[in-house]
């Protein structure tokens, strides 16, 4: 990466942070003046007043960064992707303000996924998993919609304590930024803008006197953008990964291991109890850390470090073992982490 690309990345990281910090502060005051606080219920992990304005601030920050990119560097982002992100953000806003039913939210998410697929970026190959490479177009659409729904809701479900969804998202985008072959101006603008925007939000999320939450708006928006990057990684025609030694499916699993593992575990527990897998409760792993007396910052940091350690382990062992063996070793490591920290 040359010095010009580095300067562009830094510039848009600063723009993302500055816009997010200002908008979070402005919207916090607006929500506070209208007494629009997040309700504190039995499953809540917080006791102080907080607003759900963080997601709206992120959404408007992304709009600001896109405007700068369009004006300064003629940045182009696929129209269908933009429409999908706007639609999913509006879905989150509707849920934050009016608490829409899960079935309605589910169908709105499916619609957003269908729109996103019109960008031409979707999962069209299993890259050797189960001996399968390219898959038919109808199967590509079905798999991509399923993966989109899983990822979006996984990031929404882990947004139960301060900083967790945001920190794991920052980890995702930083690792993606370090791994992808940055061959377009768009990539140099998008990744640092997102990291800067989330960092600006975190200054308020961890501030007890001016606490701000992502809300469904932020969690669904981040999840949808991450899902799009996952599609980009697994798309056969994508140049985002150029190293033939990197297994794309393994990379995807490593990057979002905690949201996937925690959501799967929580859903299985609920179904075992005869409950809906979508029930809102306190069975998530981060809740276990909070119930042990750990602070939100401490719990989020521990999970972040664990998540990074899984990525490092995965890259180390992938040089020596097959994909199946890597998955087995990672499963053993996750089991060890569970009994050390969560049991």
Q: Mind listing the pLDDT tens digit for each residue in 263-305? A: 999 889 988 888 877 777 788 889 899 988 899 999 999 999 9
Give the residue from 106, 86, 103 showing the smallest Cα distance to 152: 106
Output the CA–CA distances (angstroms, integers) from residue 212 to 26, 217, 219, in the order listed: 11, 12, 13
Q: What's the confidence (pLDDT) of residue 230?
A: 92
What is the C-alpha to C-alpha distance for residues 99 and 108, in angstroms, rounded to an integer? Answer: 14
- Residue entry with tokens 């750990």: 294
SS3 state of residue 22: helix
* Confidence tier at 249 by pLDDT (50, 70, 90): confident
* Confidence tier at 260 by pLDDT (50, 70, 90): very high
Dmax over CA atoms of the chain, in Å, equals 58
Give the percent of the chain with pLDDT over 90. Answer: 50
Q: What's the confidence (pLDDT) of residue 14?
A: 94
SS3 state of residue 169: helix
Q: What's the confidence (pLDDT) of residue 100?
A: 87
- pLDDT higher than 60, residue 218: yes
Which residues on adjacent β-strands are paired with residue 125? 134
What is the C-alpha to C-alpha distance for residues 83 and 79, in angstroms, rounded to an integer? Answer: 6
* Confidence tier at 147 by pLDDT (50, 70, 90): very high
DSSP code for 277: T
CB atoms closer than 10 angstroms to residue 206: 16
Token duo for residue 34: 């209208």
**Least confident range of 39-53, 187-201, 278-292, 315-329:** 39-53
What is the C-alpha to C-alpha distance for residues 335 and 220, in angstroms, rounded to an integer? Answer: 28
SS3 state of residue 125: strand
- pLDDT higher than 70, residue 40: no
- pTM of the model as a whole: 0.92
Cβ contacts of residue 254 below 8 Å, gap of 6+?
310, 311, 314, 315, 330
- pLDDT higher than 90, residue 98: no
- pLDDT higher than 90, residue 186: no
What is the C-alpha to C-alpha distance for residues 307 and 327, in angstroms, rounded to an integer? Answer: 15
**Least confident range of 127-131, 205-209, 230-234:** 127-131
- pLDDT higher than 70, residue 237: yes
128, 234 in Cβ contact below 8 A? no
* More confidently predicted of 256 and 102: 256
* More confidently predicted of 139 and 275: 139
Q: What's the confidence (pLDDT) of residue 66?
A: 86
Output the CA–CA distances (angstroms, integers) from residue 167 to 186, 195, 223, 281, in the order listed: 23, 10, 13, 22
223, 155 in Cβ contact below 8 A? yes
**Torsion 267-273-276-281 (CA) sign:** negative
Go through the chain and tell me how many residues it has: 343
Q: What's the confidence (pLDDT) of residue 27?
A: 94
- pLDDT higher than 90, residue 244: no
Rounded to 5 degrees, φ, ψ at 87 are -65, -40
303, 226 in Cβ contact below 8 A? no
Q: What's the confidence (pLDDT) of residue 243?
A: 63
32, 168 in Cβ contact below 8 A? no
């Amino acid at each position: 990466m040359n010095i010009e690309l580095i300067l562009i990345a830094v510039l848009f990281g600063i723009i993302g942070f500055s816009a997010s910090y200002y908008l979070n502060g402005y919207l916090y005051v607006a929500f506070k003046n209208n007494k629009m606080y997040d309700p504190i219920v039995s499953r809540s992990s917080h006791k102080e007043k907080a607003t759900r304005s963080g997601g709206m601030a992120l959404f408007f920050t992304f709009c600001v960064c896109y405007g700068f990119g369009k004006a300064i560097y003629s940045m182009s982002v696929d129209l269908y992707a933009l429409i999908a992100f706007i639609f999913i953000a509006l879905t989150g806003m509707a849920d934050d303000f009016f608490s829409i039913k899960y079935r309605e939210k589910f169908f709105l998410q499916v619609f957003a996924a269908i729109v996103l697929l019109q960008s031409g970026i979707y999962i069209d190959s299993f890259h050797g998993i189960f001996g399968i490479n390219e898959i038919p177009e109808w199967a590509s659409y079905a798999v991509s919609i399923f993966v989109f729904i899983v990822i979006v809701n996984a990031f929404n479900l882990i947004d139960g304590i301060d900083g967790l969804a945001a920190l794991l998202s920052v980890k995702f985008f930083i690792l993606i930024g370090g791994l992808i072959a940055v061959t377009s101006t768009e990539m140099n603008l998008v990744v640092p803008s997102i990291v800067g925007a989330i960092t600006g939000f975190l200054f308020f999320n961890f501030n007890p006197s001016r606490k701000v939450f992502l809300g469904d708006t932020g969690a669904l928006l981040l999840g949808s953008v991450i899902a799009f990057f996952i599609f980009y990684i697994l798309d056969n025609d994508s140049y985002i990964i150029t190293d033939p030694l990197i297994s794309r499916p393994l990379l995807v699993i490593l990057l979002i291991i905690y949201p996937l593992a925690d959501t799967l575990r929580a859903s299985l527990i609920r179904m075992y109890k005869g409950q809906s897998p979508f029930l809102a409760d306190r069975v998530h792993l981060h809740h276990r850390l909070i119930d042990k007396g750990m602070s939100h910052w401490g719990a989020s940091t521990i999970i972040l470090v664990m998540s990074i350690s899984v990525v490092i382990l995965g890259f180390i062992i992938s040089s020596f073992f097959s994909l199946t063996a890597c998955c087995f070793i990672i499963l053993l490591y996750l089991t060890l982490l569970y009994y050390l920290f969560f049991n």
